């Protein structure tokens, strides 16, 4: 039987499958055994209570949904007192996801949340509906480096930096995050998107723009994971379009240590554990003894990796 366990920095996980932040809650325990997941990732929280974005907050597309929830919540101290104890009823590592308006606030939140009950701080420096100096720091190298340095100085906890697919050069952003102290990189947040209603000519979301989540995004995020994993030494976690065990395998072959599942779990909560079962069966059928053997094992040494050189070769 395959050994599905992985290690991301100093954190041991029973398998590489985790929920994505914002598409999960401890209440999933009513449907699946949460102790089977590799990690438990809470919805992103902010320091102060937030009402979230104006409604409508979700819109369907032909291949997924656009959402602009706006990070509603009751603040960091409510999170510590009421949410953390719910997650600590289960055994997988607990990952707290946080967002802030400024680098100083990020650092303050990391300091507040550096408690034994929390195993990892996922710093959501890439909320797609916030601008580059008000939450979406990962659009620019210098903003990424600044916020990550402040975060690193504020905590000894493992820090996973969640990056944006909307950045022009995600590889440079990833390198900046690693150099500033990130212990792992989460790639990626949602794609900034727009839907317009044809009945009244107005945007479908109350906040106009939202983040697209869709299985169709997997090839794009997979390419990002592949490129980033080639240039950094810290582990990478891939998020985008995972709906089956083979998607997990693809991400790991591209260089990921783990994956986050959002859309599939939102559509069907049992998908999370079903994918773990199928991943185990997939490996056993092929005689793979350790899941970690798949990390970066794509067979492409004989292929040109520079996209400009490859494109110039023609057909």
**Tens-place pLDDT, residues 221-250:** 999 999 999 999 999 999 999 999 999 999
Indicate if 283 belongs to the active site.
no
Q: What is the pLDDT of residue 128?
A: 73
Query: How far apart (Å, rounded) are the C-alpha atoms in residues 9 and 156?
Result: 13
Q: What is the pLDDT of residue 136?
A: 85
| pLDDT over 80 at 311, yes or no | no
Q: What is the pLDDT of residue 313?
A: 61
**Model confidence band, residue 164 (pLDDT cutoffs 50, 70, 90):** very high
Residues 6+ apart with CB under 8 A from 101: 130, 134, 135
Q: pTM for this one?
A: 0.95
Q: Is 211 helix (H, G, I), strand (E, B) or coil?
A: strand
Q: What is the pLDDT of residues 166-199, one digit of tens each?
A: 999 999 999 999 999 999 999 999 999 999 999 9
Beta pairing partners, 194: 209
List 46, 110, 127, 283, catalytic entry: 127
Instruction: Judge if the upstream peptide bond of residue 155 is cis by omega within 30 degrees of 0.
Output: no
**Model confidence band, residue 308 (pLDDT cutoffs 50, 70, 90):** low
**Model confidence band, residue 272 (pLDDT cutoffs 50, 70, 90):** very high
Kind and range of the H or E run holding 154: helix 141-154
Taking each continuous run of H as one helix and of E as one strand, the counts in the chain are: 10, 14
Q: What is the pLDDT of residue 58?
A: 96
Q: Do residues 163 and 147 make contact, with C-beta atoms less than 8 angstroms apart? A: no
Q: Is 308 helix (H, G, I), strand (E, B) or coil?
A: helix
Neighbours of 297 (CB within 10 A): 13
């Amino acid at each position: 039987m395959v050994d599905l366990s992985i290690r991301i920095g100093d954190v041991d996980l029973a398998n590489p499958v985790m929920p994505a932040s914002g598409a999960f809650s401890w209440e999933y325990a009513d449907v699946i055994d949460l102790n089977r997941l590799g990690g438990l990732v809470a919805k992103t929280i902010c320091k102060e209570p937030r009402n979230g974005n104006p409604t409508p907050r979700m819109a369907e597309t032909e291949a997924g949904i656009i959402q602009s929830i706006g990070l509603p919540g009751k603040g960091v101290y409510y999170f510590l007192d009421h949410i953390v104890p719910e997650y600590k009823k289960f055994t997988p590592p607990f990952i707290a996801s946080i967002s802030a308006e400024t680098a100083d606030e990020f650092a303050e939140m990391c300091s507040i949340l550096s408690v034994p009950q929390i195993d990892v701080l996922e710093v959501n420096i890439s909320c797609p509906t916030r601008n580059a100096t008000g939450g979406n720091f990962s659009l620019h190298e210098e903003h990424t480096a600044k916020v990550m340095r402040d975060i690193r100085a504020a905590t000894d906890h493992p820090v996973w930096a969640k990056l944006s697919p909307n950045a022009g050069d995600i590889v440079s952003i990833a390198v900046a995050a690693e150099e500033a102290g990130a212990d792992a990189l989460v790639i990626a947040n949602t794609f900034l998107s727009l839907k317009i209603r044809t009945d009244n000519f107005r945007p479908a979301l109350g906040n106009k723009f939202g983040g697209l989540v869709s299985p169709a995004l997997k090839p794009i995020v997979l390419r990002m994971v592949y490129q980033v994993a080639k240039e950094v030494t810290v582990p990478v976690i891939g998020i985008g379009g995972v709906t089956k065990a083979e998607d997990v395998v693809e991400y790991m072959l591209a260089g990921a240590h783990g994956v986050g599942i959002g859309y599939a779990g939102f559509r069907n909560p049992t998908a999370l554990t079903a994918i773990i079962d199928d991943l185990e069966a997939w490996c056993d059928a092929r005689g793979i003894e350790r899941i970690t053997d798949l990390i970066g094992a794509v067979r492409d040494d004989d292929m040109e990796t520079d996209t400009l050189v490859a494109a110039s070769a023609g057909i």
